[in-house]
Amino acid sequence: MDVAIVGIGIHPFGRFDGVSGSDMGAYAVHQALRDAGVAWSDVQVAFGGSLAGTLLGQDGSTADSLVSELGMTGLPFINVMNGCATAGTAISMAAMSITSGQFDVALAVGFDKHPRGMFKSDPATLGLGQWYGDVGLMVTTQFFAMKINRYMQEYDISQRTLAKVAAKAFRNGALNPNAWRRKPMDEEEILSSRLLNYPLTQYMLCSPGEGAAAVVMCRGDLAHQYTERPVFLRAATLRTRRYGSFEVMSPWLPIESTASPTVDAARACFEQAGIDPKDVDVAQVQDSEAGAEIMHMAETGLCADGEQEQLIESGATEIGGRLPINTDGGLLANGEPIGASGMRQFYETVLQLRGDAGERQVPGEPRVGFTQVYGAPGVGACTVLTR
């Protein structure tokens, strides 16, 4: 059974004093319902996630508490938490609720409101000892730097290529009215900014932030009741890490390495969709830091390991290139409200396939979109969308 996306909504990303994460989530849901032309009472099941509300208690609201504002209709509302893969998980579960035949209309939402500064986590929540935090490895800038430094050595990727990725993100973000960082930055400015953990400088890393996004889905055969331009979810997959994969907040590295969960999720996603990676017209991938975009390009099958530098240098990943990636500025320009970041990718991809992305619209009427999110300590979630 096909699943159609008939409504999308977003609350801008950034910093919004006096606005709670749940307020942003409700706003995004209202936008998605309006876009689909449905009432909240028409939604039969919902899935949502917020790290701050569910795990950290910082915002005070779990996703299911949105019913207080949206309406207490008695629908099943399932809280979802899978790190940065939270929204990808919510989308996958919403799609499965439809393909199972149990529901006709489902909603997925993600929101978060993180305090300023770095993400803070307790090693115990990931099954790690206190020593892991004591030596600084819970600071993600350090781990991300270790991972991309290793990859750069293996595949001859330069630090300047990281700067090119970041510069592209800020250019694209400048075209996105919902982005947090809307000021373009050139490569030299990025390279000369404060070094955090080599090879990553300050502007090569995303920041914790605030925002929300939501999507309304329905059975494919019902799509034209809601919209004349449905986008179809051809596949949604989720995989966890296998023994031997080198992951965020993983304190060991075996002698023989294994592919990341993103590799497994992407392969399964393209196989399920019956679409080859080379057919993708626009992609959004996790770019917690500039190196993550580079690694995920290969892990998802969009290119081979080591091809990234030439592709980026040639402009292939720009909005007007052969393989536009992170057309809305990605995490680097939008920041990362963890529960919302994957939903933002979904929102952007639907916009692109509809032809509604404005100044950042990919030319040539794109028909196939792809999204990928990665969550610690090793969860990969991917989707393939078509029009």
DSSP letter string, 44-62: -EEEEE-HIIIII-SS---
With cut-offs at 50, 70 and 90, classify the pLDDT of residue 380: very high
Is it the case that residue 199 has pLDDT exceeding 60?
A: yes
Q: How buried is 27 (Cβ within 10 angstroms: 0-12 exposed, 13-18 middle, 19+ buried)?
A: buried
Q: What is the mean pLDDT of residues 203-226?
A: 95
The pLDDT of residue 236 is 96
The pLDDT of residue 56 is 53
Q: Which residue has the tokens 């994957």?
A: 342
Is it the case that residue 95 has pLDDT exceeding 90?
A: yes
- Summarised one tens digit per residue, pLDDT across range 290-331 is 999 999 999 999 999 999 999 999 999 999 999 999 999 999
- Pairing of the two strands 231-240 and 379-386: antiparallel
Is it the case that residue 60 has pLDDT exceeding 70?
A: no
Cα 174 to its chain centre, rounded Å, is: 19
With cut-offs at 50, 70 and 90, classify the pLDDT of residue 15: very high
Q: What is the mean pLDDT of residues 100-126?
A: 85
The pLDDT of residue 1 is 67
Cα 192 to its chain centre, rounded Å, is: 28
62 C-beta neighbours (distance < 10 Å), count: 19
Contact of 103 with 42, CB cutoff 8 Å: no
Q: How far apart are CA 144 and CA 153, in angstroms?
A: 14
Q: How far apart are CA 35 and CA 197, in angstroms?
A: 43
Q: How far apart are CA 329 and CA 172, in angstroms?
A: 5
Q: What is the mean pLDDT of residues 200-204?
A: 96
Spell out a b/e string for 359-379, using b for 16 or more CB atoms within 10 Å of the CB, else e: ebbbeeebebbbbbbbbbbbb
Record the tokens describing residue 189, joined without a space: 């400015």
Contact of 86 with 380, CB cutoff 8 Å: no
Name every residue whose Cβ is closer than 8 Å to that of residue 356 and which is 6 or more positions away in sequence: none
Q: How far apart are CA 125 and CA 51, in angstroms?
A: 13
The pLDDT of residue 120 is 66
CA–CA distance from 373 to each of 62, 65, 241, 384 (Å)? 21, 25, 13, 12
The pLDDT of residue 40 is 96
Q: How far apart are CA 55 and CA 377, in angstroms?
A: 15
Domains of the chain: 3-118+205-386 (3.40.47.10)
The pLDDT of residue 302 is 98
With cut-offs at 50, 70 and 90, classify the pLDDT of residue 17: very high
123 C-beta neighbours (distance < 10 Å), count: 17
Q: What is the mean pLDDT of residues 70-83?
A: 91
The pLDDT of residue 57 is 52
The pLDDT of residue 54 is 59
Element (H, E) at 330: helix 330-334
φ, ψ for residue 327, nearest 5 deg: -70, -20
- Of 13-22, 132-141, 157-166, the one with minimum mean pLDDT is 132-141
Is it the case that residue 234 has pLDDT exceeding 90?
A: yes
- Summarised one tens digit per residue, pLDDT across range 32-53 is 999 999 999 999 999 998 887 6
CA–CA distance from 152 to each of 155, 158, 246, 309 (Å)? 5, 7, 15, 10
Average pLDDT, the chain: 92
Is it the case that residue 230 has pLDDT exceeding 60?
A: yes
Q: Which of 110-124, 130-144, 236-250, 345-359 has the highest mean pLDDT?
A: 345-359
The pLDDT of residue 340 is 94
Q: How far apart are CA 39 and CA 272, in angstroms?
A: 32
Q: Which of 59-68, 81-90, 126-135, 190-199 has the highest mean pLDDT?
A: 190-199
Record the tokens describing residue 260, joined without a space: 């990341």
Is it the case that residue 118 has pLDDT exceeding 70?
A: no
With cut-offs at 50, 70 and 90, classify the pLDDT of residue 125: confident
> In 3D, which of 182, 231, 163 has the Cα closest to residue 359?
182
The pLDDT of residue 65 is 84
The pLDDT of residue 51 is 81
The pLDDT of residue 119 is 67
* Predicted TM-score (pTM) of this structure: 0.94
Alpha-carbon dihedral angle through residues 245, 249, 254, 258, given to the nearest 10 degrees: 0
Contact of 273 with 129, CB cutoff 8 Å: no
- Summarised one tens digit per residue, pLDDT across range 242-268 is 888 888 777 677 778 888 999 999 999
The pLDDT of residue 134 is 83
The pLDDT of residue 386 is 98
